[in-house]
Amino acid sequence: MERHKSYRIAKRLIDSGDCKELRDVFEPLPVTVVAKDLGVSVERLTGLIEKVEDFRFRELYRLAELIGVAGKVLIDLADAQHENDKKKRKK
């Protein structure tokens, strides 16, 4: 099965350092495509993008595999987003 071309675009954004948070990865990626590839509903994936702490490790690792990056890269992006969201909520 051929991967959607947006995965290559997301990989380039990650590799270039343009993605600072996990939600940035989804700018070029259609949520419907990723949800189907991960085997989750669009609603669940949309919720996970906004509340990254609910992601399962296997979902992040599978997404990393689809994009073509190491799982740790997406875990680090998810952590950065979680920390930034915590700071915003405190204000």
- On whether the pTM is more than 0.85, the answer is yes
Mean pLDDT, the chain, as a whole number? 94
Asked if pLDDT for residue 91 goes beyond 90, the answer is: no
Residue 27: CATH number of its domain: 1.10.260
Residue range 17-45: mean pLDDT, rounded:
95
Q: Tell me the pLDDT tens digit for each residue of 37-52.
A: 999 999 999 999 999 9
Residue 51 Cα distances to 3, 17, 47, 86, angstroms: 26, 22, 6, 11
Lookup result for tokens 């675009």: 9
Q: What is the pLDDT of residue 5?
A: 92
| Residues 66 and 39: beta-carbon distance below 8 Å | no
Question: Into how many domains does the chain fold?
Answer: 1
